[in-house]
């Protein structure tokens, strides 16, 4: 703990209430001076009772009314003629214990009855009452006879003395029965006298008029011997802590065991101890150091270091008050910080004592020198903070607030209240960051309280702003700009005053380094944004939520935080569009506005903005955008192409979800101009519930944008499984058209070598193959288009394969074969087609074509030979021979005939092989059947029919292949094909291992 933190400036925790001269009040003549030696305070009843013990053995009772600051003497009694050393209020038994002249005296609280002297004990040096933990300590006073025990190494002896009968000093102790004990109240005190420690239980019975010696108080005793030179003493729980010149020792009240706590260094002052009631701890003084120990003598927390050796110590809530020589100081118990110093009398005005009623709230403190008594009153925490805030001592106020918070001395509500008040003060002092930090700490503050700082009154939310003025320490809210202006004027005034030598409360930092208005505004806005941002996560009412979001947008705009604006606008928000529409439009934050429209479901407005933006980007108008001209904009806006694309992407996002046909068709055009993919995505979006009307979409698609149309149709046919003939035909035609164009363009480019001269905007260049493939696949796969129409289109083109497919669809076999065999010379495909037709005459037709291609083409003899080789068996040799041209060279003809004949022989041989294999299998099957039928079955007496369960005996029976046996009758009934086990051999044949049938 650094020493610097031990001094915490001057706070006003205690403020003087009044001062009195006790002699004057007591009406004593100045000739016989009255000196104050001890004091005590009881605030149980109202007014407060003040006990003053004088040097002359007098006890004065005063009544103090702190609210009216009136004090009067109630009574005064003479206790002895020696000084009164201490006054202890025994609340439990409603008595006052006074120590004077080595004797203890008991008096009732109002000093109405005569003073009773506890005559059985003399030479008393210290007395203390026990502070319990809410438990009752069983000291066992009812022992029998005198018990002596050596209980500690130090040789201390514990003596238990029984109560009852008459004790050595003539104390009369009436036996108290257990039934009586229930009605009585008791109080434990420890008394140090000469060489012993006496523990006394004072009992007050219900009938207080008993003729006991002590005004209705009976006494029970217990002694611990061998304790010497006791100067100070405290008792908490079971522990009596005794301070002598040697040091501090802890005694256990129940066992008498003693443990040294620590010894005092040489030439140190007398020991002094004080019970800290609040924490049930004891403060032990060594020099100017207060060591706090708990009820077992273990140290707790760091030492309290006082500025001087205190003469008197008192405890007030979480503070320790020390006094000496006309001065008093207040220390915070936990941190050891000195909170307040106070001079209440001239230095050298004699010994002083400080006291309060620590058993109660203890908020009235009495501090006295010999001839003067000063009353002080605790300032409530709120008042303390208010005072500090009024002085603009924010640091100290925050410090105090933290202290109170850590000690739980403040309610949650008050804490929130103070944080808010602090925040407003800091806000008007232009410390925006700190202000918002405090606002955020306040749980009760409403975000609407900041609205007047953002938007000038009156506005949409004016009626929502709570009229909470807190302590009224700050001016009413005005727009932030005015706050900054006023603050700057105040700072300038402060500077001026400072130069003139006048002290001001203006901020040091600002005085030495005057911030600019722009800086301050930015800081203010940034921090309010921070606050509103956090507020968004709170549970707010809808109108306030609207205010928060709208004003947040306002502030983002003020700082031109485009990203934040767009983020807010595009996420879920409660912005009020009407408030922002013109604002954002005027300042050119069109993207934000579009997002905002979109998030509010105003798609058409959003879309028209995106359209405008896209157009502006493309025409370069974005350069004239007032915002981008002045300030930096994010990259999206700087690059026109990406900007345009971004607009299209955003628009397409909206359109993908929109089922509004007109809207979609309206905007499809410009989006398609920018990016066809996006347009297709819009049309084919699965996000909308109701699909757009197909015809109208198709009509709306720009006929030049073939790809879009094709992809839309493809989606309709492939993904949506449309089986509308019209769409299929349309798709086929469109693909065919593209394919034709592709062929033309490639042939064109190869012809003219003018590579990019032609604009191939609608046909992806180099995609001829892919388009044809697509077309072919579609023509093959779909049966729904009109082949004639397509054929019409491609009739004059070179798309031969496609033509073949179409002819195939139309069943024009000859045409197909002609195209395949003659035009494409694809023998394989032609043969394949013949196989598809499946008739022998198809092969013959093909052969005919090969041999006589017509149109002056030479016979395709190789193809013919190949055909004969592959399919010779299907051709009639006679027909083949007839087909052969008489001009055919013999070599080739013989080859052809040879192949054909060979093929036939080969075919014959193949047939023979198959025949023989089948015969072998048949034989195998027969063999297996015979084996199966010639099986032996053993039947005995117990064999029964599997069906009717009758004994077979000597009856005729049958066995099924699955080994089930039935009597003949059942066999006739079941038939051959179904066994007794229900197996139908026709449907579920049996195969057994060993049967040779393997196929």
Contacts with another protein, residue ranges (CB under 8 A): 1-3, 247, 260-265, 286-291, 293, 297-299, 301-305
CA 313 – CA 276 distance, rounded (Å): 10
CA 957 – CA 983 distance, rounded (Å): 18
Q: Which residues contact 759 (CB under 8 A, 6 or more apart)?
A: none
Nearer to another protein among residue 1 and residue 638 (C-beta): 1
CA 15 – CA 386 distance, rounded (Å): 15
Name the DSSP class of 404. H
- β 95-100/84-90 pair status: antiparallel
Nearest approach, Cβ of 356 to another protein (angstroms)?
Answer: 25
Nearest approach, Cβ of 280 to another protein (angstroms)?
Answer: 18
Name the DSSP class of 938. -
CA 980 – CA 959 distance, rounded (Å): 9
Q: Which residues contact 463 (CB under 8 A, 6 or more apart)?
A: none
Place of tokens 């690059």: 639
Nearer to another protein among residue 79 and residue 291 (C-beta): 291
Angle at 820 between CA 818 and CA 826, to 5 degrees: 135
CA 130 – CA 41 distance, rounded (Å): 18
**49 vs 60, 86, 114, 648, CA distance in Å?**
10, 16, 18, 86
- Preceding omega of 258 cis (within 30 degrees of 0): no
Nearer to another protein among residue 295 and residue 564 (C-beta): 295
Nearest approach, Cβ of 301 to another protein (angstroms)?
Answer: 5
Q: Return phi, psi of residue 258, to 5°.
A: -120, 145
Nearer to another protein among residue 291 and residue 353 (C-beta): 291
Nearest approach, Cβ of 320 to another protein (angstroms)?
Answer: 14
Nearest approach, Cβ of 286 to another protein (angstroms)?
Answer: 7
Q: Would you state the structure tokens that stand for residue 710, as one six-digit string?
A: 């094709």
Nearer to another protein among residue 287 and residue 677 (C-beta): 287
Nearest approach, Cβ of 331 to another protein (angstroms)?
Answer: 13
Nearest approach, Cβ of 289 to another protein (angstroms)?
Answer: 4
CA 816 – CA 818 distance, rounded (Å): 5
Q: Which residues contact 602 (CB under 8 A, 6 or more apart)?
A: 577
- Preceding omega of 576 cis (within 30 degrees of 0): no
Nearest approach, Cβ of 227 to another protein (angstroms)?
Answer: 19
Nearer to another protein among residue 302 and residue 811 (C-beta): 302
Question: Within 151-214, where are the H helices?
Answer: 178-181
Name the DSSP class of 662. H
Nearest approach, Cβ of 263 to another protein (angstroms)?
Answer: 4
Residues pairing with 88 in the sheet: 97
Nearer to another protein among residue 245 and residue 997 (C-beta): 245
Angle at 383 between CA 379 and CA 388, to 5 degrees: 110
Nearer to another protein among residue 47 and residue 299 (C-beta): 299
Place of tokens 């960051």: 433
Name which of 374, 372, 345, 370 is nearest 35 in CA terms. 370
Nearest approach, Cβ of 272 to another protein (angstroms)?
Answer: 15
Q: Which secondary-structure segment (H or E) carries 291?
A: strand 289-293
Nearer to another protein among residue 3 and residue 500 (C-beta): 3
Nearest approach, Cβ of 287 to another protein (angstroms)?
Answer: 8
Nearer to another protein among residue 240 and residue 286 (C-beta): 286
Q: Would you state the structure tokens that stand for residue 46, as one six-digit string?
A: 């109202």
Q: How many CA atoms lie within 13 A of 209 on its CB side?
A: 0
Q: Return phi, psi of residue 935, to 5°.
A: -75, 150
> Would you tell me how many other CB atoms lie within 10 Å of the CB of residue 199?
25
Question: Exposed/middle/buried for 287, CB within 10 Å: 0-12, 13-18, 19+?
Answer: middle
- β 239-244/247-252 pair status: antiparallel
The CA-based diameter of the chain, rounded to the nearest angstrom, is 174
Nearest approach, Cβ of 254 to another protein (angstroms)?
Answer: 21
CA 981 – CA 991 distance, rounded (Å): 17
Nearest approach, Cβ of 245 to another protein (angstroms)?
Answer: 13
Q: At what angle do helices 861-871 and 890-933 cross, to 10 degrees?
A: 10
Nearer to another protein among residue 1 and residue 206 (C-beta): 1
Nearer to another protein among residue 188 and residue 304 (C-beta): 304
Nearest approach, Cβ of 684 to another protein (angstroms)?
Answer: 49
Nearer to another protein among residue 306 and residue 417 (C-beta): 306
Q: Would you state the structure tokens that stand for residue 141, as one six-digit string?
A: 């006073």
Nearest approach, Cβ of 259 to another protein (angstroms)?
Answer: 9
Nearer to another protein among residue 318 and residue 818 (C-beta): 318
Nearer to another protein among residue 256 and residue 336 (C-beta): 336
Residues pairing with 645 in the sheet: none
Nearer to another protein among residue 284 and residue 355 (C-beta): 284
Nearest approach, Cβ of 32 to another protein (angstroms)?
Answer: 44
């Amino acid at each position: 703990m650094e020493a610097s933190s031990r001094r915490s400036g001057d706070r006003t925790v205690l403020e003087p209430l009044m001062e009195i001269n006790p002699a004057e009040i007591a009406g004593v003549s100045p000739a016989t001076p009255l000196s104050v030696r001890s004091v005590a305070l009881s605030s149980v009843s109202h007014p407060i009772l003040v006990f003053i013990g004088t040097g002359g053995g007098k006890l004065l009772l005063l009544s103090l009314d702190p609210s009216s600051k009136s004090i009067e003497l109630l009574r005064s009694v003479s206790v002895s003629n020696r000084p009164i050393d201490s006054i202890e209020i025994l609340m439990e038994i409603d008595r006052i214990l006074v120590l004077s002249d080595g004797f203890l005296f008991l008096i009732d609280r109002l000093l109405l009855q005569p003073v009773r002297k506890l005559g059985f004990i003399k030479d008393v040096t210290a007395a203390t009452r026990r502070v319990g933990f809410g438990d009752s300590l069983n000291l066992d006073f009812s022992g029998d006879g005198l018990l002596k025990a050596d209980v500690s190494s130090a040789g201390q002896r514990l003596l238990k003395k029984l109560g009852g009968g008459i004790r050595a000093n003539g104390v009369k102790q009436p036996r108290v029965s257990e039934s009586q004990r229930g009605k009585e109240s008791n109080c434990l005190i420890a008394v140090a006298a000469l060489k012993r420690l006496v523990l006394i239980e004072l009992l007050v019975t219900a009938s207080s008029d008993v003729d006991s010696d002590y005004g209705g108080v009976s006494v029970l005793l217990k002694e611990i011997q061998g304790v010497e030179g006791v100067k100070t003493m405290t008792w908490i729980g079971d522990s009596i802590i005794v301070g002598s010149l040697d040091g501090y020792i802890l005694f256990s009240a129940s066992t008498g065991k003693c443990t040294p706590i620590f010894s005092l260094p040489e030439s140190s002052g007398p020991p002094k101890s004080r019970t800290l009631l609040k924490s049930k701890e004891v403060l032990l003084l060594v020099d100017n150091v207060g060591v706090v120990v708990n009820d077992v003598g273990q140290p707790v927390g760091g030492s309290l270091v006082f500025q001087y050796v205190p003469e008197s110590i008192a405890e007030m809530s979480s503070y320790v008050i020390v006094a000496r020589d006309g001065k008093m100081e207040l220390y915070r118990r936990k941190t050891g910080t000195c909170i307040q110093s106070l001079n209440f009398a001239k230095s050298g005005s004699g010994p002083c004592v400080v006291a309060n009623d620590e058993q109660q709230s203890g908020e009235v403190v009495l501090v006295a020198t010999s001839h003067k008594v000063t009353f002080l009153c605790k300032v409530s925490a709120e008042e303390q903070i208010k005072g500090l805030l009024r002085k603009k001592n924010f640091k100290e106020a925050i410090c105090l607030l933290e202290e109170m918070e850590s000690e739980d001395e403040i309610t949650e509500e008050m804490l929130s209240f103070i944080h808010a008040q602090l925040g407003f003060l800091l806000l008007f002092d232009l410390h925006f960051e700190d202000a918002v930090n405090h606002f955020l700490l306040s749980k009760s503050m409403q975000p609407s309280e900041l609205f007047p700082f953002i938007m000038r009154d009156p506005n949409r939310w004016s009626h929502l702003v709570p009229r909470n003025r807190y302590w009224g320490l700050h001016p009413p809210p005005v727009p932030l700009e005015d706050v900054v202006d006023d603050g700057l004027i105040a700072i300038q005034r402060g500077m001026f005053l400072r130069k003139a030598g006048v002290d001001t409360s203006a901020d040091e930092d600002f005085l030495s380094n005057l911030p600019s208005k722009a800086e301050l505004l930015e800081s203010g806005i940034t921090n309010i944004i921070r606050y509103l941002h956090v507020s968004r996560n709170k549970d707010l009412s809808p109108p306030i939520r609207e205010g928060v979001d709208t004003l947040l947008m306002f502030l983002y705009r003020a700082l031109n935080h485009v990203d934040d604006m767009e983020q807010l606008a595009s996420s879920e928000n409660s912005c009020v569009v009407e408030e922002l529409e013109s604002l954002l439009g005027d300042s050119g934050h069109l993207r934000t506005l579009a997002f905002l429209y979109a998030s509010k479901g105003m798609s058409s407005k959003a879309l028209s903005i995106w359209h405008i933006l896209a157009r502006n980007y493309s025409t370069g108008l974005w350069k004239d955008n007032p915002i981008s001209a002045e300030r930096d904009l994010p990259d999206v806006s700087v690059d026109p192409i990406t900007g345009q694309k971004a607009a299209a992407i955003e628009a397409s996002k909206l359109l993908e979800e929109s089922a509004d046909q007109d809207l979609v068709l309206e905007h499809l055009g410009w989006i398609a101009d920018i990016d066809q993919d996006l347009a297709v995505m819009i049309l084919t979006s699965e996000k909308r519930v109701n699909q757009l009307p197909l015809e109208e979409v198709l009509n709306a698609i720009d006929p030049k944008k073939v790809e879009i149309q094709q992809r839309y149709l493809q989606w309709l046919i492939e993904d949506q499984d449309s089986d509308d003939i019209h769409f299929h035909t349309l798709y086929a035609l469109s693909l065919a058209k593209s394919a034709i164009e592709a062929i033309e363009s490639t042939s064109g480019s190869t012809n003219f070598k003018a590579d990019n001269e032609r604009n191939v905007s609608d046909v992806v260049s180099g995609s001829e193959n892919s388009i044809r493939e697509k077309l072919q696949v579609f023509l093959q796969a779909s049966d729904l288009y009109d082949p004639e129409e397509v054929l019409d289109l491609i009739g004059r083109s070179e798309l031969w394969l496609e033509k073949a497919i179409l002819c195939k669809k139309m069943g024009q076999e000859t045409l197909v074969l002609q195209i395949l065999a003659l035009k494409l010379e694809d023998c394989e495909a032609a043969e394949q087609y013949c196989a598809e037709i499946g008739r022998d005459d198809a092969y013959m037709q093909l052969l005919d074509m090969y041999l006589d291609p017509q149109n002056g083409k030479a016979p395709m003899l190789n193809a013919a030979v190949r055909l004969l080789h592959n399919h010779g068996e299907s051709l009639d040799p006679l027909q083949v021979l007839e087909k052969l041209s008489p001009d055919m060279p013999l070599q080739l003809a013989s080859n052809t005939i040879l192949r054909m004949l060979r093929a036939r022989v080969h075919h014959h041989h193949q047939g023979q092989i198959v025949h023989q294999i089948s015969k072998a299998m048949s034989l195998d099957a027969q063999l297996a059947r015979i084996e199966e039928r010639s099986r032996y079955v053993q039947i005995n007496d117990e064999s029964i029919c599997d069906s009717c369960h009758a004994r077979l005996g000597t009856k005729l029976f049958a066995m099924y292949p699955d080994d089930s046996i039935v009597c003949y009758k059942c066999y006739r009934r079941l038939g051959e094909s179904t066994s007794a086990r229900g197996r139908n051999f026709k449907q579920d044949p049996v195969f057994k291992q060993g049967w040779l049938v393997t196929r």
